Amino acid sequence: MKKTILAIAACVSVMSADQLIKLNIQGMMCPACVSNVKTSLNGVQGVKETTVFLKSGTAEVKADNATKPAALCDAVKQAGYECSVAK
Binding site for Cu ion (CB under 5 A): 29-30, 32-33
Q: In terms of CB distance, is 1 or 32 closer to Cu ion?
A: 32
Distances (CA, A) of 23 to 10, 39, 56, 72, 80: 29, 15, 11, 8, 15
Nearest residue to Cu ion, scored by beta-carbon proximity: 33
d(CA 25, CA 48): 19
Q: Nearest distance from residue 82's CB to Cu ion, in Å?
A: 14
Q: Please, which residue, 37 or 72, has the CB nearer to Cu ion?
A: 37
- Shortest Å, Cβ 13 to Cu ion: 39
Please work out, in degrees rounded to the nearest 5, the angle formed at the alpha carbon of residue 75 by the alpha carbons of 60 and 26: 60
